[in-house]
Amino acid sequence: MDYIKLASGASYFQSPEPAIEAAIKALRNGATSYGPTEGIPELRQAIAERYQEENIALTPEQVLVTPGSKQALFNVLSVLLNEGDEVIVPVPAWFGFHELLKYSKGVGVALNTSPEDNYTITPEALKQVLNERSRLLILTNPGNPMGRLYSKKELEAILKVTAAYPDLYVLNDEIYDCITYDRPFTSILSCEGANEKTIVINGFSKSFAMSGWRIGYIAGATDLIKKCIAFQASTMSGISLFSQQAAVATLLNRQSALAPILKILKENRALMQQALEELPHVNYTLPEGAYYFFPDFTYYINSKTPAGQSIKNGIALCNYFRDYYSLELAPGDNFGAVGFARMSFAVEKDKLKEASKRLKLALSTLQH
Ligand code: PMP
C-alpha cells in the first residue's frame, strides 16, 4: 500500500517559477556571500509595500527578514522574555509554539478555545488568563490546526482587552494569510488598537509553497526590530541572498502565484469536507483559511483495533491509521486537543480520494 501523508505542514505545490528563476539568476551573478543582517533593501521594501497596499503604514526599517518564521518567533521570544514571563497561547495551537517556548525564558499559559463556538477567543476568557506577569499573547490567524479566520472586529476586541496591560505584546502569526476561502484576511496591523507592542510574524513557506527556502520576517516597531536585528547578527547573520531575491520575485508576482494554488485548495477543501461528512461520529468545523481540517475523532477513543489493541488517545489512533492503512495524520494531542487529528488537503486529489477511502475503512473496523 502506498503511503499517504496528510500530516505535513508543507503543501505539494511547486514554488513559484519567478522565485526559481530569480534564485538561479542571483547565484549566477555571484550572490553567494553574506548579506546585510536585516535583509536586502529590495525585500524589506517589497514586504513593506505589500502592507502599505492595505493602508498599513509599515516602513522597510520595521521589517527584519529571518530564516523562516520559526526563527522569527524564536528571535522575538529571545529578545522579549525575562525569566518567568507568561506567554498566552490560544489552544488548540501549532505545536511549534510549545517547542519554541522550551528554549525561552517564558512560561506558556493555555487559553482554551473550543470547536463548539468555532474556536472563538472571547474578551472574557482572555481577561481570565491575563495578569501582571503576562508579557506576550501569541495569536495565529488564520489558525493552525483548525483554519479559523479571526475577523477585524474580533481582533480589535482582543486588542481592547490587551491595551489594559502596558507590558504585554501581541504577536500575530500570519503565516497562512494569503490562504483564505470565503472571507478576506485582515492583518492585525490594520486594526484599531494596534501599536508599538503589536508584532506580526509571517513567511513564504505556506502561502507560496516555499518552505525549503527558509524565508520569514518580523514586522513591528522600529525599536523592537533593532533588538531583533542585534539578536540575528549574533546568532545567524543575514539569510541567503538568492533566497531573498526569490522572495522579492514572489512578492512581485504574488497574484499569479496564488491564483492556481487557491483554486486547487478550494476544490480540495470541498473534497475533504465531503469525505468527512461520510464518516460516522466525526465532527469538524469548516476551515476558512490555511489548508487543514481538524476533525474530532474522540468517539473512537477507547475503541479496539481488530487485533484487540485499545486506542487510548489520538496518538494511538493516528498510529493505527499509519500502521494498518499507511495513512499519516497529525495527532491533535500535539496541538492540545486529544482525540482530534489534523488533515492537510494541500495534497494531490487522487491521494485525497484514496485517503478518505482508507479512513472510512479504518474507522469501520474499529470495535466500539
Ligand atoms: N507558524 C505556524 C503557525 C506554522 O504552521 C509554521 C509551520 N508549520 C511556522 C510558523 C513556521 O514556518 P517557517 O519556519 O517555515 O516559516
**Dihedral sign of CA atoms 76, 82, 86, 91 in order:** positive
CA 368 vs CA 200, 278, 308: distances in Å: 45, 18, 11
For residue 147, is pLDDT > 90?
A: yes
Ligand 1 centre from 95 Cα, in Å?
10
CATH class of 4-12+256-364: alpha beta
Residue 111 clears pLDDT 90, i.e. is over it = yes
Mutate to test the pocket of ligand 1, among 98, 206, 217 (most ligand atoms within 8 A of CB): 206
CB atoms < 10 A from the CB of 57, how many? 10
Helix count (H) and strand count (E) of the chain? 11, 12
- Average pLDDT estimate for 8-21: 97
The answer, yes or no, to whether residue 142 has pLDDT greater than 90, is yes
C-alpha grid cell for residue 250?
A: 514572489
Residue 368, pLDDT score: 82
Mutate to test the pocket of ligand 1, among 8, 65, 66, 70 (most ligand atoms within 8 A of CB): 70
Domain parsing of the chain, residue ranges: 4-12+256-364, 17-252
Ligand 1 lining (C-beta closer than 6 Å): 9, 68-70, 94, 96, 140, 144, 173, 175, 203, 205, 211, 216
Tens-place pLDDT, residues 223-275: 999 999 999 999 999 999 999 999 999 999 999 999 999 999 999 999 999 99
Per-residue pLDDT of 155-178, as tens digits, reads: 999 999 999 999 999 999 999 999
Compute the distance from residue 210 Cα to the ligand 1 centre, in Å: 11
Residue 95 has pLDDT above 90, yes or no: yes
Q: Let me know: does 12 contact 347? Beta carbons within 8 Å.
A: yes
Question: What is the mean predicted confidence (pLDDT) over 176-183?
Answer: 96
Residues paired with residue 349 on neighbouring β-strands, in sequence order: none
- What separation in Å is there between the alpha carbon of 119 and the centre of ligand 1? 20
Instruction: Specify the pLDDT at position 224.
Output: 98
Ligand 1 centroid vs 280 CA: distance in angstroms? Answer: 32
10, 205 in Cβ contact below 8 A?
Answer: yes
53-87 pLDDT, tens digit each: 999 999 999 999 999 999 999 999 999 999 999 99
Give residue 213's pLDDT. 97
Q: Mean pLDDT across the stretch 265-294?
A: 98
> pLDDT for 330-347, tens place per residue?
999 999 999 999 999 999
Interval 26-36: pLDDT, tens? 999 999 999 99
C-alpha 217 to ligand 1 mean position (Å): 11
CA–centroid distance, residue 175 to ligand 1 (Å): 7
Give the residue, out of 144, 202, 208, with the most ligand 1 atoms within 8 A of its beta carbon, to mutate for a pocket test. Answer: 144
Cell of 341: 487529528
Indicate whether 1 pLDDT > 90: no
Distance 171 CA to ligand 1 centre (A): 14
Atom of ligand 1 nearest to the CA of 140: 3
Residue by residue, DSSP assigns 292-329 as EE--B-GGGTT-B-TT--B--SHHHHHHHHHHHH-EE-
Say if residue 38's pLDDT is above 90: yes
Instruction: Give the chain's mean pLDDT.
Output: 97
Output the CATH code of domain 17-252.
3.40.640.10
> Is the pLDDT at 298 greater than 90, yes or no?
yes
For residue 219, the Cα-to-chain-centroid distance in whole angstroms is: 16
